Amino acid sequence: MSMGGNNNPLLTVSWDEGSGSVKLIDQTKLPENLEYIICNNHNQVADAIKNLSIRGAPAIGVAAAMGLALCAVNDNSANKKDLLSSLETAYKILLQTRPTAVNLKWGLDKVMEETGKHETVQGIKENLVKLVKEMSDDDIQTNKNMGRFGSNLIDNGDVIMTHCNAGALATVSYGTALGVIRSAKDSGKKISVFATETRPVMQGSRLTAFELVHDEIDVSLIPDTAVGHLMANNMIDKVIVGADRILKTGHVFNKIGTYQVALLANSHNIPFYVAAPLSTFDLEQDDPDKIVIEERSVEEVVKIGGKRIAPKGVRVFNPAFDLTPPNLITGIITEKGVLKPPFEKSISEAFGIDEQAGL
């Protein structure tokens, strides 16, 4: 079984043509069981995003778009105005599922934009289904392009550290950070990976380790607390992580713990790369303090694998993401190439924005 696009790759999220539903791998069941959730309406997609059955910024972007397309397909409105009103309600429900990953809004906005281009209810429904299937194909192609650019940064024999899961399971397939690793391996380089377990939800041990073991990529799992020790002992050549939101200043929001990894990499002179598609960039915001960092439930921290490990009554703070400032980042790998500091300039160029004119 390959998650990497070699033999019959698994799709994290797909539009099921026959039944007109959205099919998701239930990531809460991994690695023990590979089970799917079939969503027949947008509320089920919203629930799946909220409870992390589907997670990872690009995957939730495509899933949310498919959820909104489902709303359109299921809707019985006789005219565009009524259909739009149903879509606006579903848009709000889907948008508030998770606040930090900007791909969620990107995916939903693409659906609304497409809706605006068509006049008839039938035309909207058909074109939204076409759009979300294209978004799914584009995501895979984007990751492969990103992988090719990122692979040029990797040397034969490199030992790469990654945090959380920025792999096939965080995208439609192939992955961002893990896509770079897949691509480097496919180009004949010998690569090995250290994956942090990523408390509290264990995306590293449950998901990254799962997909790398499946693709026969050399992976060792470490406790989050071992990062500094490995770096101090020259065991890591490069770090590659994903992102949930990148501001035009190059500030990167990603899974909690990324900032610590970046700081440690910086103090040990280890290159720290972020791999993310252009859909993860938030060009509307340049103030990191304005970005909402999702806080998740107490349960995630007081329990491991469903078993309580902390005393009842303890106060818990559970931020799901943190901010890595641009001065700790060596480069941002995108489908358009590797962006280098100063990021304000390289990000503007990647988007074809004229900085002087502020366009």
Q: Least CB distance from residue 117 to ligand MRU, whole Å?
A: 29
Q: Does 57 bind ligand MRU (CB under 6 A)?
A: yes
Among candidate residues 141, 144, 214, 235, the one with its CA nearest the CA of residue 186: 144
Q: Single out the segment in contact with ligand MRU by CB under 6 A; choices: 36-44, 80-88, 148-156, 240-248.
A: 240-248
String marking each residue 176-195 x if it binds ligand MRU according to CB under 6 A: x-------------------
Which residues, in sequence order, are CB contacts of 259 under 8 Å at separation 6+?
322, 323, 324, 328
Q: Does 105 bind ligand MRU (CB under 6 A)?
A: no
Residues touching ligand MRU, count (CB under 6 A): 17
Q: Running DSSP on this structure, what letter comes out for residue 314? A: -
- Choice between 166 and 328, CB closer to ligand MRU: 166
Q: Does 166 bind ligand MRU (CB under 6 A)?
A: yes
**Is 10 within 8 Å of 1 (Cβ atoms)?**
yes
Q: Does 56 bind ligand MRU (CB under 6 A)?
A: yes
The helix/strand/coil state of 280 is helix
- Choice between 300 and 349, CB closer to ligand MRU: 300
- How many degrees, rounded to 5, is the angle at CA 150 between CA 286 and CA 324? 30
Alpha helices (H) in 117-189, listed in sequence order? 121-151, 177-186
The token duo for 97 is 């599922």
Q: Least CB distance from residue 186 to ligand MRU, whole Å?
A: 19
Q: Single out the segment in contact with ligand MRU by CB under 6 A; choices: 130-138, 163-171, 266-274, 334-342.
A: 163-171
The token duo for 256 is 């909690």
Query: What are the strands of the beta sheet with 21-25, ordered from one edge?
Result: 13-16, 21-25, 36-39
Which residue of 53, 171, 279, 324 would you call a contact of ligand MRU, by CB under 6 A? 171
Q: Least CB distance from residue 126 to ligand MRU, whole Å?
A: 30
CA separation, residue 221 to residues 61, 168, 205, 246, 264 (Å): 28, 18, 7, 27, 18
**Dist CA 50 CA 261 (whole Å):** 26
String marking each residue 113-152 x if it binds ligand MRU according to CB under 6 A: ----------------------------------------
- Choice between 58 and 326, CB closer to ligand MRU: 58
The token duo for 306 is 């469903």
Q: Which of residues 264-303 bind ligand MRU (CB under 6 A)?
A: none
Which residue of 203, 208, 279, 346 would you call a contact of ligand MRU, by CB under 6 A? 203
Q: Does 322 bind ligand MRU (CB under 6 A)?
A: no
Q: Does 257 bind ligand MRU (CB under 6 A)?
A: no
Q: Does 250 bind ligand MRU (CB under 6 A)?
A: no
Exactly one of 75, 158, 215, 244 is catalytic; name it: 244
Q: Give 58-97 as a DSSP string.
A: HHHHHHHHHHHHHHHHH---SSHHHHHHHHHHHHHHHHTT
Based on the residue annotation, tell me whether 237 is a catalytic residue of this protein: no
166 φ, ψ (degrees, to nearest 5): -115, 55
Catalytic machinery residues: 244
Residues within the interface to ligand MRU (CB under 6 A): 55-58, 101, 164, 166, 170-171, 176, 203, 242-244, 254-255, 320
